[in-house]
Amino acid sequence: MTAGRAAVFFDRDGTLNEEVDFLTTPEQLRLIQGASTAVRSLNTRGFPVCIISNQSAVARGLLSEADLIPIHRKLTRELGRDGAHIDRIYYCPHHPTAGIAPYNVECECRKPRPGMLQRAAEELSLDLSGSYVVGDRIVDVQVARAVGARAILVLTGYGMTALNDCRSQGVRPDFVAASAREAVEFILETDKGDHHQDD
């Protein structure tokens, strides 16, 4: 049995906050209804909660890594209003072909590669095979598969397009949820609760 706690990894845009196509300012960030309640439910059950987000807007020169700080500050503040908190936020600023140096590179952190999940596992002592990935794109399902986690596709954001992509490419999520809130309901119903309660 692998030591470590199971965690829940959320994609950011289109999963917790509304998709706006390259969110570049805090003013553009609006939580999807029920997202904060969903995160708080996981906090209550003792799950570490992380965000894993591809942010190729940095590589494309649309914003800097420093510009992400106030965006993530607003995200944590909005969640906090409902008593929810995120343990860690991980993002990939790279793109393999588009953008500017030093960000236009092949990397191990851009989903569907598992770098962000592996870093979280090391830093927070997590059991990835017992964890969940919740997102609105096929890469979120694929990155879950890459580490043996369970994949939940939400139909907010690009979810409907992603569902078609999954079907056409033979990629199967473990569950398809209308929203992050429904995804969390599925997690809490199916989780055995024996691997994240004792730190």
Active centre residues (catalytic): 11, 13
- Round to whole Å and give the CA distance between 74 and 77: 5
Contacts of 126 (CB under 8 A, 6+ apart): 4, 5, 6, 7, 48, 120
Main-chain phi, psi angles of 145, to 5 degrees: -60, -35
Look at the block and give the residue holding tokens 């490419």: 169
Kind of pairing between the strands at 150-154 and 49-54 = unpaired
What H or E segment, with its residue span, contains residue 176? Answer: strand 175-177
CA–CA separation, 160 and 162 (whole Å): 5
Residue in the block written with tokens 């994240």 = 196
